[in-house]
Amino acid sequence: MELTTVWFILITVLWIGYLALEGFDFGVGMLLPVLAKGETERRVLYNTVGPVWDGNEVWVLVAGGATFAAFPNWYATMFSGFYLALLLILVALIVRNLAFEYRGKRTDPVWRARWDAALTVGSFVPALLWGVALANVVRGVPIDADQEFTGSLLTLLNPFGLLGGLVTLTVFLTHGAIFISLKTDGDIRHRARAFALRTGVVAAVLAVAFLLWAQAMTGSALSGVLFVLGALALVGGLVAIWRGREGWAFTGTFASIACVVAGLFAALFPDVMPSSTSAAYSLTTTNAAATHYTLVVMTVVALVFTPIVLAYQAWSYWVFRRRLTVHHIPADVPGVSHA
């Protein structure tokens, strides 16, 4: 197997990790005003993702860095063409991260309400726009002979792209609700399970429509198999949450996101960014790749450090595996973030 193909697969895995892990973070943030009744329950929701949210974001940083190093032409075209969309995502992530850090610095209700709103909006925007961006990468965008994007932000807001955004939005809401039901107990847990069932049905309908459209547009045999597995995993997750099996439900939505993202990248390959102007202008794993020496060095680095990173993140999830209830939340201590 060529190194360009290896790195295409590795970048796919990085995006799977990011969207499957950060996806439930986004879901928890968006559900804060929906599921939490009172200050103590809001602090419970903050604490469900408090120990892991920053680790989950590492995946997108590594995915961006890997794309820059392995496929510099892909990185340049994508980040210049999707500049405004990615800028909105970046600003939203910054605001969201500040909410985690600063909400608990003061006990003033107005102060906390503003940071709660920042967390919700900062979770909603990337949950929607990542889907729009990924759908457009698969669909193809206007690229000229110089490998330059010739469209605008409105080019990305096409029906297929918007449907992709709605899919990620609703799937992340479902994923987040299931995660809350897995990590909490008491009234919040029951409300989260009920919400997951309602939004999961909507997510399933939107996802099936999106996947059928994607398969008809640019799918392959492999992407078709992965799409079917993704749909079955989502349905299995909804059945599990209906039966009160939160662990299996979370496994189902996690597997669904993984299969769908893998399927979209499989439908994309060997292109990395198709051109809707002319197929001759499309970026591929060959014409967008870095030098062979660069790929060899990156492969060695990845083989050394990837197991370390995975082991550390698995350990952190194991340490913070217990369920949370309102009884675990101590009295307010000014200056201590989401304590």
Q: Which two tokens stand for residue 139?
A: 């669909």
Give residue 333's pLDDT band: very low, low, confident or very high (50, 70, 90). Answer: low
pLDDT at 334: 52
3-state secondary structure 161-203: HHHHHHHHHHHHHHHHHHHHHHHECCHHHHHHHHHHHHHHHHH
- Domain positions in the chain: 3-308
339: nearest Cα among 107, 6, 184: 107
Cβ–Cβ < 8 Å for 72, 65:
no
Report the percentage of the chain scoring pLDDT > 90.
65
Q: What is the longest distance spanned by two Cα atoms in the chain? A: 63
CB proximity list for 41: less than 8 A, separation 6 or greater: 35, 187, 188, 326
Residue 279 gets which letter from DSSP? G
Interaxial angle between packed helices 159-183 and 39-49, expressed in degrees from 0 to 180 and rounded to the nearest 10: 100
* Residue whose token pair is 């547009």: 217
Question: What is the b/e burial string over 16-45, where b = at least 16 CB atoms within 10 angstroms of the residue's CB?
Answer: bbbbbbbbbbbbbbbbbeebbeeeebbbbb
pTM: 0.92
| pLDDT per position as a tens digit, 185-201 | 888 999 999 999 999 99
Pick the CATH number of 3-308 from 1.20.1630.10, 1.10.390.10, 3.10.180.10, 3.40.190.80: 1.20.1630.10
The distance in angstroms from the start CA to the end CA of the chain is: 50
pLDDT tens digits for range 58-114 = 899 899 999 999 999 999 998 888 888 899 999 999 999 999 999 988 888 999 999
- 218 by Cβ neighbours in 10 Å (0-12 / 13-18 / 19+) ranks as middle
Report the length, in residues, of the chain: 339
Tell me the pLDDT tens digit for each residue of 105-128. 888 899 999 999 999 999 999 999
Specify the pLDDT at position 309: 84
Q: What is the pLDDT of residue 310?
A: 87
What's the mean pLDDT in 17-38? 93
Mean pLDDT for the chain overall: 91
